[in-house]
Amino acid sequence: MWSLSVAGCRRLGVVGSAAVAVGGWAAGTLPERDPWGLWLPRGARAAEAGTLLAYVGLTLLVVAWWRYGRLLVLRPSAVRIRHTLTTLGCWAAPLLLAPPLYSADVYSYIAQGAMVVEGHDVYAAGPSVLDPAGLGGDAAASVGGHWTGTPAPYGPVFLLVAQGVTLATDGRIVPAVLGMRLVAVASLALAVWALLRLAPGGARNGALWLGVLNPLLLIHVVGGMHNDGLMAALLLAAAALALRGRHWVAGSALVGLAMLVKSPAALGLLFIGVVVGREAAGPPIRRVAKALLGPGSVAAATAVAATLAAGTGFGWLRTQSVAGSIHTALSFSSDLGYALGRSMHYFSGTHPDPVKRAVQAMGLTLALVLIAYLAAHVLRGLLDPVKALGLALLVLVLLSPVVQPWYLLWAVPLLAATAWRGRTARGLAVLSAAFAYVTAPDGSTPAYAFAAAAVACAVAAHRTLRPADAAAPVRVPAPRRSEDHAGAALLYRPPVR
């Protein structure tokens, strides 16, 4: 039966991924100018047909992924890690030569890399300062909306990567985009390496399924080339070194690098510090000092060295709130604040913005309280620090003033490494399936995309509540004790001192 075989799921996913890529040639986030004539608009009807094809392909990919997950549950002994890695490669391959999909952010990356090459201050100006006929001009012309005049919210490490890609490709739009896709593929490979070291032996296949085979990751990291993939991969590697191994110095340095891609990675220092302090020898004051100063000092030194090497200055410290200037419908606190603000404006005439900002601040405050609660549980040895870090990032995403679909990928791989079959993981699988539909191939968020996401969420939630397929012609083998990867078996057991 195709739906319960590795080969059947793989073939279905390849068809879906190929349909997404082909649809993207007509309906992706195509550049404004392409001197090579490869990625040019082909008219409204072609764009509509491409969008429909991409959504059909995405649906096939999500179904294939979902069935692959059920196969891992029903027949775990029939699926090897090499099968999952081969499937990952097959599903990612059709996206490699496609134009940018689901986001125009890659054009900002290339333009900002060109700004560094040209000597512009990326933290004081936007891509609009580039010469339209010069290096990065085609990318700057393709940057969406008000982002053309917006300073970079990214750290020097990522700008160094973008600068290298721009120099290697001379800023030509198609090679530069493909160069950024190579960076995304390298991030995917690093995430696979880290997941195989973070997850327990019997749970590695499931961790790969939820963490990297995930369609949300494939379309937004491989297809859309979001730098969130690089940040998440570095954070995963840091967790593998510092929270599973005893290499907290190397792990803290990697967190420092991840912070200089996107700042939310700094949350990793909290949990590394808690683990370092808990396992340190000596009196309590010494343990607290080591926890507070050790990982933070290493990360800070790494950040300073990387910033000086990049030569971009420390302006990244003041541009971290740039993304907060937009409203996204996925942010619960922003939506609630907006609704309350509009209601108060209707009844009392007060301006809605202060109300919205107050609700956003309350959301962030609640997130900080919950993160502190998670850290306290790690300190007491009641919670796996890797799982706690994943939950902390999930809380931060859900209560943030700005939420994009791909932000969920900050938390998913870490949680996949700890309990891929628990209630949290099932919820993440449902959210991943739904969030994959929110953004259209051209990067917009039309109303029908939210409707499709709602349908996907309802269907996925219904599937998770159903018992295992009783009529399926398979026999479920009893897992060996060493391969028991149910959620309860992955509870953290603190080290014995």
Sign of CA dihedral 360, 443, 232, 90: positive
Q: Binning pLDDT at 50, 70 and 90, where does residue 473 land?
A: very low
**Range with lowest mean pLDDT among 11-25, 240-254, 281-295, 357-371:** 281-295
Average pLDDT score over residue span 413-417: 94
Whether 491 shows a pLDDT value over 60: the answer reads no
What crossing angle do the helices spanning 173-198 and 204-211 adopt, rounded to 10°?
Answer: 150
Q: What is the pTM of this model?
A: 0.89
494/284: higher pLDDT:
284
Residue 321 burial (CB < 10 Å; 0-12/13-18/19+)? exposed
What is the distance between the alpha carbons of residues 432 and 455, in angstroms, rounded to a whole number? Answer: 13
The alpha-carbon radius of gyration of the chain (Å, integer) is 23
Whether 496 shows a pLDDT value over 60: the answer reads no
Q: Binning pLDDT at 50, 70 and 90, where does residue 368 land?
A: very high
What is the residue-wise DSSP string for 364-408? HHHHHHHHHHHHHHHHTT-S-HHHHHHHHHHHHHHTSS---GGGG
Half-sphere exposure of 492 (CA within 13 A, CB side): 21
pLDDT above 90 coverage of the chain, percent: 62
> How far out from the chain centre does Cα 248 lie?
23
Give CA separation, 495 vs 380, 381, 452, in Å. Answer: 11, 8, 46
What is the distance between the alpha carbons of residues 84 and 208, in angstroms, rounded to a whole number? Answer: 7
Q: Binning pLDDT at 50, 70 and 90, where does residue 263 land?
A: very high
Whether 47 shows a pLDDT value over 60: the answer reads yes
Q: What is the pLDDT of residues 100-151, one digit of tens each?
A: 999 999 999 999 999 999 999 999 999 999 999 899 999 999 997 778 888 9
Spatial neighbors of 455 by CB under 8 A, at least 6 apart, are none
Whether 490 shows a pLDDT value over 60: the answer reads no
What is the distance between the alpha carbons of residues 461 and 459, in angstroms, rounded to a whole number? Answer: 5
Average pLDDT score over residue span 171-184: 96
What is the distance between the alpha carbons of residues 474 and 73, in angstroms, rounded to a whole number? Answer: 11
Q: Binning pLDDT at 50, 70 and 90, where does residue 324 land?
A: low
> Mean pLDDT over all residues of the chain?
87
Provide the 10 A C-beta neighbour count for residue 234. 26
**Residue 425 contacts residue 390 (beta carbons within 8 Å):** no
> How far out from the chain centre does Cα 486 lie?
25
* Residue owning tokens 């926890």: 291
* Residue owning tokens 């979902």: 66
What is the distance between the alpha carbons of residues 215 and 434, in angstroms, rounded to a whole number? Answer: 10
Q: What is the pLDDT of residues 5-44, one digit of tens each?
A: 899 999 999 999 999 999 999 999 999 988 888 898 888 9
Sign of CA dihedral 399, 403, 408, 411: negative
**Residue 404 contacts residue 219 (beta carbons within 8 Å):** no
Half-sphere exposure of 264 (CA within 13 A, CB side): 28
